[in-house]
Amino acid sequence: MKKQTSEKLTLQNEFATVQVYVEYSANGPRLCIADAIRESVVYLDPLQVECLTRMDVSDLEKYLPY
């Protein structure tokens, strides 16, 4: 059975290119973020996405390559 997905949105700047879409499964919707350069993918459930809204930009800076 093929999983349903929303339309893919591509976000790009001089540092990164990612595709973002929602994948629907029996366990509910998950946000998919796919890195076009490294070909890595992460799936986030609504709770995980909500946790991102609580983070400050400085919390993410330690993961950035610059």
pTM for the full predicted model: 0.80
Within 10 angstroms of residue 50's Cβ, the number of other Cβ atoms is: 10
- Mapped onto helix, strand or coil, the DSSP state of residue 7 is coil
* Full residue range of the structural domain in which residue 20 is found: 4-61
What's the number of domains the chain is made of?
Answer: 1
Would you state the pLDDT for residue 7? 93
Decide if 32 contacts 41 (C-beta within 8 A): yes
Is 55 a member of any domain? Answer: yes
Is 66 a member of any domain? Answer: no
pLDDT band per the 50, 70, 90 thresholds, residue 2: low
Digit-coded pLDDT (tens) for 32-45: 999 988 899 999 99
Q: Spell out where 1-66 has E strands.
A: 4-5, 9-12, 17-25, 28-35, 41-44
Cα atoms in the 13 Å half-sphere on the side-chain side of 51: 7
